[in-house]
Structure 1
Amino acid sequence: MKRTMWHPKGAWAGMLVLGLAGCAAQNHGEAAADAGAGALASPEGAMLAYEHDLDITLDAAGIAPRVKQIAEACQSARFGDCAVLQVGQQGGEYPSGSVKVRIAPKGVEPLIGLAGQGGEVASRNTHAEDLAQQVADTALSKARLQKEHERLLAYQDSKDIKLADLLTITQRLSEIEAGVEQANKEAAQQHRRIDTQLVTMQFHTPSGQRSRSQIGEALSESGAVLTTSVAFLIRALSALLPWAVVAWVFAWIGSVLWRRRKRRLAARAS
């Protein structure tokens, strides 16, 4: 039976390969972590609502597929919780597209990276709105309504309450309950703006591509422009020809009369 010999060099080579693979995987994980860590998020205790506006240049043929790709990535929660708010496309000579999403902070940078693949982020603007005062006002309004609701409930249970007062309290309780529900909706919307970020991406073709399209469009229209110009000249000549003939006749008659007058004056002088 043939035995397999153990070679130290082969073992060291295998360990080296495994080590390199492990380092590559670790570096990839660290890069992904760094991308997630670099995302802007509201600091602890702050109430900031971030919004990102991007202008991305991409080849004309790639705009429509990219818009679809971004929408699908958001709907499938590929980069975290995400909701598509608006999708738009425009074809023709200068195609364009737009996508507006609301996504978790850690998914902002990966989503922007996907949007800019094969193109260029021409401009990017990030700003935040401080919602601290709005959140505080909503919470204070809700607390006041709840306290008033408790007082009215206690007064409603009183044995000495009159019927007219009871009807008034019942109506006021309904108004308070509606106010509390509205305050809850406003609070939920405010926290949604704080916990997620609004990303608006506009896709356009590069300026050089648009210039070439304009030149091609001008060349394709040159034949029609030339035909229109020649037709205009023909119409103008047709309209002016009768008047030119009449003017020539009057000029010829005037010239004949002028020569006769000159000959008479010369005969009298001699």
Structure 2
Amino acid sequence: MYKEARRHPRWVGALAVLLTLAGCGRHEAAAEAGAGAAGAVVSPEGASLAYEHDLDIRLDAAKIGPRVKQIADACQSARFGDCAVLQVGQQGGEYPSGSIRVRIAPKGVEPIIGLAGQGGEVSSRNTHAEDLAQQVADTALAKARLQKEHERLLAYQDSKDIKLADLLVITQRLSEIEAGVEQANKEAAQQRRRIDTQLVTMQFNAPSGQRSRNEIGMALSESGAILTTSIAYLIRAVAALLPVLVIGSIIGWIGLRLWRRRRARRAG
């Protein structure tokens, strides 16, 4: 083997380079996979954490509307897993912006954020979690108490010695308990939904440079209207002051004539 390697040094060198490149490729792929996994926030097993993500994304003004629609379509089609659109907003004019809020399965958080930031820049991102453990425990305890009371009243209701008045009171209380159990079930379902899915709010704004250009363009387009308004204001001011000036001039002229006559009399 050693002799064959010495006979073909170029072949051995090429094989070494290929093995090195393959090893580097595997390391890079593993690094990318690790980075993607690190970006996802997953609630620890058994925990009752409700995660929320708030993002500010800088995107070209012309792309904001289509991007918001693209995210909404991807969410409604379950492209990244279970997802529901909770809010969509868009504003044009001088400061174009858009926003969308979705509730999505944890595995779809990073993909939908990646879709939102394509061709733009995620300028800020804030992730926080609310611990719902106490709320979940309180809801479960309240439901258990109501169910025990319900069973106890049902047993008492079946008693042969029960009076009619007591039966009416028990029937009313059973209705109240059933309504309470139903409300507890709704609260438990909502808590479970907040734990099993994550809330993602994405706010889109145009880059600061583009907003500055828009401001300059708006100022130039409004300069004619501003000039017209200023001239109209001056005309109104002159029209309002003109009678005062005329009357003041007449009074001043009369006063000057009287003063000159009085002075001439004194001099004579």
- TM above 0.5, yes or no, is yes
Runs of 5+ consecutive residues of structure 2 not aligned to the other structure: 1-10
Deviation at 1:258, TM superposition (A): 6.2
How much has 1:29 moved relative to structure 2?
Answer: 8.3
How do 1:50-199 and structure 2 match up within 5 A? 50-199=51-200
Secondary structure in 1 matching 2:165:
helix
Shift of residue 244, structure 1, vs aligned partner? 4.0
The count of corresponding residues between Structure 1 and Structure 2 is 255
SS across alignment from 2:221: helix
Supply the distance in 2 between the matched residues of 1:206 and 1:242 (Cα, whole angstroms). Answer: 54
Aligned to 2:3: none
Q: TM-score, normalised by structure 2?
A: 0.80
| Cα deviation, residue 27, structure 1 | 6.0
Instruction: Give the 3 Å change call, closer, same or farther, for CA 250–178 of structure 1 in structure 2.
Output: closer
Q: Which sections of structure 1, spanning at least 5 residues, go unmatched?
A: 1-8
RMSD over equivalenced CA pairs, Å? 3.1
TM-aligned CA deviation for residue 252 of structure 1: 5.5
- State the distance in 2 between where 1:45 and 1:123 align: 30
C-alpha deviation, 1:64, in angstroms: 0.3
Deviations 1:227-254 (A, max 9, x none): 2222332343344445545555555666
Does 1:35 find its partner at 2:53?
Answer: no
Counterpart CA distance in 1 for 2:149 and 2:255 is 108
2: CA distance, partners of 1:210 / 1:152: 68
Give CA deviations for 1:110-136 in whole Å, capped at 9, x if unaligned.
111111111122222221111111111
- Larger mean Cα displacement after TM superposition, 168-177 or 210-219: 168-177
Q: How far is the alpha carbon of 1:255 from its aligned partner?
A: 5.8
Task: Tell me, in whole angstroms, the C-alpha distance in 2 between the residues paired with 1:34 and 1:198.
Answer: 22
Q: What is the alpha-carbon distance in structure 2 between the residues aligned to residue 182 and residue 87 of structure 1?
A: 29
Output the CA distance in 1 between the equivalents of 2:264 and 2:154. 127
Work out the CA distance in 1 between the residues paired with 2:89 and 2:101: 9
Q: Which residue of 1 aligns with 2:202?
A: 201
Question: What's the CA shift for 1:39?
Answer: 1.4
In 2, distance between residues paired with 1:262 and 1:126? 90
What's 1:4 paired with? Answer: none
Identity of aligned residues (%): 78
